[in-house]
Amino acid sequence: MFTKSIGFVGGGRVARILLGGWRHAGVKLGDVVVSDPDDSAINRLQASSAGIVIHRGDILAAARQTVVFLAVHPPAIADVLGSIASGLRDDAIVLSLAPKITIAKLSAMLDGFSRLIRVIPNAASIVGYGFNPIVWGECLSESDRSEIRELLQPLGQCPEVSESTLEAYAIVTAMGPTYFWPQWAELLTIAESFGLSHQDATDGLRGMLQGAMATLFDSGMTCDEVLDLVPVKPLGELEPTLRDAYRTKLIAVMEKIRP
């Protein structure tokens, strides 16, 4: 059981993912206080986090907890930090879940508060398969870090990385599932239209994806060699368009979120 109290400033998707992941892993939490101006967001959060007691509070109530998650979009962070700076406990640990705003900027916006962490969460944390890179503020002790590792470990991998790489992880790992989920969902639909049961289609797609990843990452072959293994490519003529979309769209996003 994680006994320290937790505050979420923001009760939207990211809060739902993390709380859902702890629920999925059977993690027992102490007090959880969530602040969000949208009542429907908190209602949805409560509905999706059965077994976790969530207290609805104002922004300062969430900020007064021992571990505080900043689960708001970068454009809103400056206003939010100005509202919570006076309410933070001296021994609190604040985790920002947003790209773009560095630890140095967070500290400045919090009137010098320095017990800070940045994490780029991944949606697969909701089933314990997240990839959530983390950057520690320099003022955190090893004991502090151990407590946060204990809290995040049930959600999946939590590699410790350089702050300069976090925005790249935001595009590749945090947003990454959105590049593939629509394609996989369409493949499931098509497989079922061909006569496979939903379970057989799911098993086939899961096995194919696991094997495809192992071949690309673990075979020792180059990308070109891997791509040459299958001679029939029904979507081959679309590959240049897809590659161009990755390059143009993702580079544009990086320009927006780069500190």
Q: pLDDT tens digits for 122-135?
A: 999 999 999 999 99
How many CB atoms within 10 Å of residue 249? 12
Query: For residue 51, is pLDDT > 80?
Result: no
The sign of the dihedral angle between the CA atoms of 230, 235, 237, 242 is negative
pLDDT at position 50: 76
The two beta strands, 67-70 and 54-56, are: unpaired
Mean pLDDT of 221-230: 96
Q: Which two tokens stand for residue 51?
A: 């077994």
Provide φ and ψ at 165, rounded to 5°: -100, -5
pLDDT, one tens digit per residue, over 72-126 is: 999 999 999 999 999 999 999 999 999 999 999 999 999 999 999 999 999 999 9
Q: Which two tokens stand for residue 60?
A: 């300062």
The CA radius of gyration of the chain, in Å to the nearest whole number, is: 21
Provide φ and ψ at 160, rounded to 5°: -90, 120
